[in-house]
Amino acid sequence: MVFEATLIGLLCYLGALSSPWLFGLTGGWYLLSRPLVSGMLVGLILGDVKTGIMIGVAVQAVYIAMVTPGGSMPADLNFVAYPAIALGILSGKGPEVAVALAATIGIAGTILFNTMMVLNSFWNHRADSALERGDERGIYLNSAIWPQATNFVLRFVPTFIAVYFGAQYISGFMDSLPAIVISTMSVLGGILPAVGIAILLKQIIKNYTMIIYFLVGFICIVFLKLNMVALVIVGALLALIHYNYKPEAPQTAAAKSTVDDEDEF
């Protein structure tokens, strides 16, 4: 299990917000730290790709509308993507319980993220002091090497410990919990993806009448049992109808008054 925990810890570091190795944010934060991607990778490492993808899809739905403006972190998606999904797979309790675990670990991960920000301020002050002394090596070490070493330690070590020891104890720990706790976690885990989708709709829908298209898709999936290919075709037809045949916007009052003034002359 040491090898698997090491791989997952390395992926957690490579996908961190401030890790520069995989084209910066492009290959790390916006690719490896997406739960949909990490679920497949962690499942492949732990030998259960199907469960990894199922958990990754459920967790991705929760955080699908999460944004991090200016480094603001409502939850640390990196810890959600790796130690949380790994523990979800190892627990063997299904995607719903894994989602509840991910939400808890993601919020706790913000503590480590803020710790890293505080330590980076320390390295910045040391780099400023090196700059005043004209110490080029000190500038390089305190602006590039030590901050990345701190980032590595704060990402790799907790992930390694969680996966290595979690593999031995998480299943027994989950079995020891009362049934009501597991049921509560399952209910919460089932609700959280819906909350994520609702937040996304809140962000992208300008006119609340547009929600009718979401409801049409819901009916097609739940009641008509259409597959995704058929749903895409239905969605494309509805988009074509909406954008080609929607009524034109009424003229504004200002435009009407301008026309009236010209008629008087």
Distance (Å) of CA 21 to CA 14, 29, 88, 261: 7, 11, 27, 65
Tokens matching residue 174: 């989950």
pLDDT-derived band at 140, boundaries 50, 70, 90? very high
CA dihedral 33, 34, 39, 45 (to 10 degrees): -30
What's the one-letter identity of residue 199?
A: I
pLDDT at 254: 52
Rg over CA atoms, the chain: 25
- pLDDT mean over 36-60: 91
Residue-averaged pLDDT of the chain: 83
Most confident of 118-122, 152-156, 167-171: 152-156
The residue among 4, 3, 11, 45 whose CA lies nearest residue 155 is 11
pTM, to two decimals: 0.75
The residue among 71, 3, 87 whose CA lies nearest residue 39 is 87
pLDDT-derived band at 200, boundaries 50, 70, 90? confident
pLDDT-derived band at 104, boundaries 50, 70, 90? confident
- pLDDT mean over 131-142: 91
Query: What one-character-per-residue DSSP string does 68-82 give?
Result: -GGG--SS-HHHIII
pLDDT at 132 over 80: yes
The residue among 14, 263, 7, 8 whose CA lies nearest residue 152 is 14
Spatial separation of the C-alpha atoms in residues 41 and 7, rounded to whole Å = 10
The residue among 60, 52, 54 whose CA lies nearest residue 80 is 60
First-to-final CA distance of the chain: 88
- pLDDT mean over 188-203: 77
pLDDT at 231 over 80: yes
What's the one-letter identity of residue 107?
A: I
| Sequence-separated (6 or more) residues with CB below 8 Å from residue 136 | 130
What's the one-letter identity of residue 137?
A: R
The residue among 34, 66, 67, 75 whose CA lies nearest residue 53 is 34
pLDDT at 185: 72
| Sequence-separated (6 or more) residues with CB below 8 Å from residue 150 | 116, 119, 120, 123
Query: What one-character-per-residue DSSP string does 212-241 give?
Result: HHHHHHHHHHHTS---HHHHHHHHHHHHHH
- pLDDT mean over 107-134: 88
- pLDDT tens figures, 51-62: 999 999 888 888
Cβ proximity of 97 and 191 under 8 Å: no
The DSSP output letter for 1 is -
